[in-house]
Amino acid sequence: MKNLTPLTADIITNNLVPQKFGKRGMIWTGVLVAFCIVGAYAYFLQLKNGLGVTAMRDYVSWGIYISNFVFFVAISLVGSLITAVFRLANVKWSTPLTRIAEIIAVSAIVFASLIIVVDMGRPERLLNLFMYGRLQSPIMWDVIVITTYLFISLLLLFFPLLPDLKILIKRKDLSVKSFGKFYSFLGSFWKGTRLQEKLNKRAVNILCVTIIPVAFCIHTVTSWLFATTYRPGWDSTNFGAYFISGAFLVGAGAVIVAMYVFRKAYALERYITELHFDKMGRIVVLLALLYLYFNVNEYLIPAFKMKNSEEAHLTDLFAGTYAPLFWFAIFTGMLVPIFILLFKRGRKPLPAFIAGVLVVVGAWFKRYLIVTPTLLHPFLPMTDVPESFKHYFPTWQEWAIALGSLAGALLIITFLPGYSPSSLYRKL
């Protein structure tokens, strides 16, 4: 590293402007688009025939759409962690990661809102939420905080982008041509005067302060969708903190994954250094331990008492039909990543990337385990229903829609840096 020429402003600009996709990028995009198209077709079928195309029935009335929603909300929390928490704590090294984190946050929260509409039996009545909305309902709280979070996240992405937009507007040779007008529309008012700089800095500071409570709200309220019911496995005062710690963990894991991929794809070794992997690795260990702590609270305390209603649920998770998935989620989502990242060698880019992938995959299944098994253990026995109501395995349409939404989020994460200027780095 020391032998390299020092980074001048010019080199930075040249390195970080939007870059064209290589062959690999095209294949990646193609695959994602294909997933999205299949997902859109599956949703078309669902719109045509009703939610009957899913495997959800009267007992398991929430399935992978909802767990996917919880996953998206969780992962979106990282925007506030990396951007706001670190900024307010004056952590300097995280600066190159902020934009990655913000992009992940925005795309995840957009798809969280989309997937919740997919889960509705009557999506065309969405406006009823505003015409007849009841503020007493946790769903309304979720609608309010998610919208707020989306707008703050967008602003937090946009404001720091302004000085960079100016560079792109000036140097037309650097930007993707068709976007030139879009850039001027977004950023031509930015003159870079001292007053503007000052205002911008202040605005970002204010946003950083506001986004933290809002971020806590989105995930706490999402956990309350479950915790406000009586069901074993959901009826827990631990749920808000449990969800938030899990959300920070999966978000940090996702940032490591994104760091690795962007670093490789855009040759950003000089900006996203091994130091970043080392630091993020430590953070993931801390967050995984925190999440593990809440898991112990969540599962072992009811298991100590083994109330009747909890017993069926817990034994099903620990040793029953859901046991393989449960232990898979615990090991891949927490224990193995902790083990990898605890060692200095484990915090090198590649092993850290693998740990990050494990965290994210484990987290997805964890959300599924929070939503579905509980619904299969109602208080009264499952009587007078068809046999198919007593199990749940998603149909291809559900898988297609869920995977399509994940692909869509990845598509945004792929494209935003490609078309937004110096998106991976910011000087502010």
Dist CA 18 CA 185 (whole Å): 18
Q: Does residue number 51 form part of the binding site for other proteins (CB under 8 A)? A: yes
Nearer to other proteins, 195 or 380 (CB): 380
The reply to whether 304 sits near other proteins by the rule CB under 8 A is no
* H/E segment holding residue 261: helix 239-265
Nearer of residues 124 and 173 to other proteins, judged by Cβ: 124
CB 221, min distance to other proteins, A: 12
The burial class, CB within 10 Å (0-12 / 13-18 / 19+), for 134 is exposed
Contact between 307 and other proteins by CB under 8 A: the answer reads no
Contact between 122 and other proteins (CB under 8 A)?
Answer: yes
Using the rule CB under 8 A, is 144 a contact of other proteins? no
Q: How far is the CB of 243 from other proteins (least distance, A)?
A: 16
Q: Name the residue nearer to other proteins (CB basis): 24 or 125.
A: 125
For residue 343, what is the DSSP state? S
- Cα dist. 239→228, 243, 292 in Å? 10, 6, 13
User: Rounded to the nearest whole angstrom, what is the least distance from the CB of residue 140 to other proteins in the complex?
Assistant: 5
**Residue 129 touches other proteins, criterion: CB under 8 A:** yes
Interface pick for other proteins out of 59, 190, 399, 419 (rule CB under 8 A): 59
Under the binding rule (CB under 8 A), the answer on residue 312 touching other proteins is no
Q: Shortest CA distance to 361 belongs to which of 264, 223, 253, 259?
A: 253
> Interaction with other proteins in 91-120: which residues (CB under 8 A)?
119-120
Pick the closer one to other proteins by CB: 3 or 136: 136
What is the widest separation between alpha-carbon atoms in the chain? 75
Task: Report which DSSP code applies to 383.
Answer: -
Can you tell me whether residue 384 is helix, strand or coil? coil
- Applying CB under 8 A, among 45, 85, 140, 203 the residue interacting with other proteins is 140
CB of 47 to other proteins, least distance (A): 10
Q: Which residue among 23, 230, 305, 344 contacts other proteins (CB under 8 A)?
A: 230
Instruction: Count Cα neighbours of 199 within 13 Å in the Cβ-side half-sphere.
Output: 9
Q: Interface with other proteins by CB under 8 A: which range of 250-258, 291-299, 359-367, 372-380?
A: 372-380
- CA distances to 41, 183, 262, 324, 392 from 250, in Å: 29, 32, 18, 21, 25
Does residue 305 touch other proteins according to CB under 8 A?
A: no
Residue 315 makes CB contacts below 8 A (sequence gap 6+) with none
Residue-wise over 63-89: b if at least 16 C-beta within 10 A, else e?
A: bbbbbbbbbbbbbbbbbbbbbbbbbee
C-alpha to C-alpha distance for 23 and 88, rounded to whole angstroms: 40
Q: How far is CA 220 from the centre of its chain?
A: 15
The span of 180-188, 362-370, 385-393, 413-421 binding other proteins (CB under 8 A) equals 385-393
d(CA 121, CA 124): 9
Neighbours of 379 (CB within 10 A): 9
Q: Give the range of 69-77, 226-234, 236-244, 260-268 binding other proteins by CB under 8 A.
A: 226-234
Q: How far is the CB of 219 from other proteins (least distance, A)?
A: 18
DSSP string, 188-221: TT----HHHHHHHHHHHHHHHHHHHHHHHHHHHH
343 vs 255, 275, 277, 336, CA distance in Å? 19, 14, 12, 12
Pick left, alpha or beta for residue 348 (phi over 0 → left; psi -120 to 50 → alpha; otherwise beta).
beta
Residue 137 near other proteins by CB under 8 A:
yes
> With binding defined as CB under 8 A, does residue 236 bind other proteins?
no
Choose the stretch contacting other proteins; rule: CB under 8 A; options: 32-40, 138-146, 249-257, 286-294: 138-146
Residue 389 makes contact with other proteins by CB under 8 A = yes
Which part of the chain contacts other proteins (CB under 8 A), choosing from 94-102, 225-233, 276-284, 320-328? 225-233
Which of 7, 33, 126, 301 touches other proteins (CB under 8 A)? Answer: 126
Using the minimum distance from each CB to other proteins, give the nearer residue, 51 or 168.
51
Rounded CA-CA distance 70/65 in Å is 9
Task: Examine residue 49 and tell whether it contacts other proteins (CB under 8 A).
Answer: yes
Residues of this chain that interact with other proteins (CB under 8 A) are: 49-52, 54, 56-59, 61-62, 119-123, 125-126, 128-129, 131-134, 136-140, 143, 225-226, 228-231, 375, 378-389
